[in-house]
Copies of this chain bind each other. A is one copy, B any other.
Amino acid sequence: MQIGGIEAGGTKFVCAVSEETSRNIIDKVSVPTTDPKETLREVKLFFDKYDIKALGIASFGPIDLDTKSETYGSFLNTPKDKWKHYPLLEQLRANYSIPVFMDTDVNAACLAEYKYGAGRGADTSLYITVGTGIGAGLVQNGSIYQGKNHSEMGHVIIKKHKDDSFDGCCPYHGSCIEGMASGFAIERRYGKTGTELVDNNQVWEIEAYYLAQALMNYYVILRPEKMILGGGVMRQEKLYPLIRQYFTEQMNDYLDAGPVEELIVAPELNDEQGVIGAMELINRGYSNSRQ
């Protein structure tokens, strides 16, 4: 049996078809995120080559995931104007006469890493992406955590670094963690991309200082066994030891978090955690009533 998965991101939609299990990917394509009509037409061209029996979609957000809501499966207040309020799930269900299951990109990535990657065996696993934006998803006891709606962990409040004069770029909160430490924030603060700033140590000191604060907030609230940091900004691998160092300093031995090298880790699924997770939503969808 073939199944399909979409990792719907702000710049591209990664689509994959897998045979039997989510990890046995037989074909994959990347479609640019332009306007909904055009992007979904490209997506359909890809899947029409196959005979998929179910589809999972892991989407950028915020999307409405309150199953009791009239706008379940639609985008909410995204800064991407063309996608604002777009009924993505409804449209996909109209395009394909098969079951379609949806969650956020970070929740799906977390589920994939929990099942096959850095979160294996960790009953409470958190996956954080630090890219253009910042988001995080939590798996607890094998299930994706969700309150009334999905979490929006990129908007936690943190304290300003003493040497940072940047006021933050989150259009809603200014200096929340996304406003201070996303890839977009780095570009806005320095007028250069992270890649152009590789050798500027202060950039990464400040970045790690902020991310460690966000991790501390996640940690004291959620007490995860693993905090898996992925996304484009985390390609600067020197960030991992710096974040661990600031996290340890800020926690100050208050709680026994175990060895920090085992707590704060990199993903293991080679950038396929999103699309594998999307296909894992199909299993999740069939095993509970939430569709």
Q: A residues near B, CB below 8 A? A: 62, 76-77, 123-124, 140, 145-160, 172-173, 175, 213, 216-218, 220-225, 250-256
Contact = CB atoms under 8 A, between A and B. Distances in A.
Contacts of A150: 223
Given A173-B254, A213-B157, A217-B157, A223 B140 contact: no
22 contacts: A62-B255, A123-B148, A124-B147, A140-B145, A147-B222, A148-B223, A148-B224, A149-B255, A151-B220, A151-B222, A151-B223, A152-B223, A152-B255, A153-B221, A154-B220, A155-B220, A156-B216, A158-B159, A159-B160, A172-B254, A217-B217, A217-B221
Contact of A152 (B154, B220, B224, B252): B220
Chain B CB within 10 Å, residue with most, of A123, A150, A252, A254: A254
Given A140-B147, A220-B151, A220-B155, A76 B256 contact: yes
Contacts of A147: 123-124, 140, 222-225
A252 B176 CA distance: 12
A236 B253 CA distance: 33
A257 B127 CA distance: 24
A167 B149 CA distance: 35
A40 B45 CA distance: 71
A154 B254 CA distance: 12
Chain B CB within 10 Å, residue with most, of A158, A159, A217, A253: A217
Contacts of A146: 223
Given A218-B221, A222-B221, A254 B77 contact: yes
Contacts of A224: 147-148
Contacts of A252: 172-173
Contacts of A216: 155-157
A175 to B, nearest CB: 8
Contacts of A77: 253-255
Contacts of A76: 255-256
Contacts of A220: 151-156
Contacts of A251: 172-173
A250 B176 CA distance: 10
Given A77-B253, A140-B145, A140-B147, 14 more contacts: A148-B225, A151-B222, A152-B223, A152-B254, A153-B221, A155-B220, A156-B221, A157-B157, A157-B216, A157-B250, A159-B159, A159-B160, A172-B253, A217-B221
Contacts of A172: 251-254
A151 B255 CA distance: 10
